[in-house]
Amino acid sequence: MLESDRCLLPKAWMLPHQVALVDDDSEYTEFLQQDLVERGMRVDVYGDSNDLLTAARAFDYDFYVVDLSLPGIDGLDLIKLLRRRTQKGVLVVSGRLGSDVFEKVLRAGADMYLTKPVRFEQVAIAMESVYRRIQPAETSTTNRWILDTWARKLVAPDGATVELSDIDVALLKCFASAKGEVLTRQTLKESLTQLPGHEAQDGLNATIFRLRRRIEKATPAALPLQTKSRVGYVFSAPLQLRSLSVLGALQ
């Protein structure tokens, strides 16, 4: 077995893109938000349930992480209101105790319930599980990304293009070959260090960070380049290799 084969892990589930985190514990939400953002999600934090409900896009999120003890309306009532307007994923993470809390949470419309204290990785895994279940059984070609290696561009599902460096192209070619599998940091580092002129001290994390920022600026499409905690990274959407410029010239 090749070393690169040993680095591949089971296929990753796709994470939600836009997340509403509703919790009034500012220290907890600060660090959880940071963890989820590092995994490729965009997270808006609301310390008061009324702040969420009065937001312009309150019911447009892909996923909701909700505490039960909130300023404004109670978490259970918030879940009931959300369920009137959306069928997106709802995960409750709360320290509220009681023999009937679990039943009340699920009957209100939540998909899963975790009791605090909980590790951030457990929150992310629960979100993955719920989000996977509520997605269509087959991945639609409408969320396909295209890597144009000749023009050094990444084309998003909405047609937006992202200009790429040689390092970006090499990185994305690794993800295209992986076909949705998780790649370890070591595997990616070894691929990048083979590039002429690449400085190892620049760091894989910095390369990933810059690429993510360029993608986010170019398109509102869900960011598929995600962190897998303590393992590596995954490009969770279909990524097709193509030289669009050459093909276009031949047509």
Other residues' Cβ atoms within 10 Å of the Cβ of residue 53: 17
pLDDT at 195: 66
**Inside any domain, residue 3:** no
Q: Average pLDDT, whole number, for the chain?
A: 82
Burial environment of residue 57 by CB neighbours within 10 A (0 to 12, 13 to 18, 19 or more): exposed
With 70 as the cut, is the pLDDT of residue 8 above it?
Answer: no
pLDDT at 222: 74
Q: Looking at the 3D structure of the chain, how many domains does it have? A: 2
Q: Which domain holds residue 44?
A: 18-134
Determine the distance from the C-alpha atom of residue 21 to the mean position of all C-alpha atoms in its chain, rounded to a whole number. Answer: 14
CATH number at residue 123: 3.40.50.2300
CATH number at residue 240: 1.10.10.10
The rounded distance, in Å, linking the Cα atoms of 28 and 77 is 22
If asked whether residues 111 and 162 sit together in one domain, one would say no
**Inside any domain, residue 11:** no
Q: Each residue of 16-35: pLDDT tens digit? A: 889 999 999 999 999 999 99
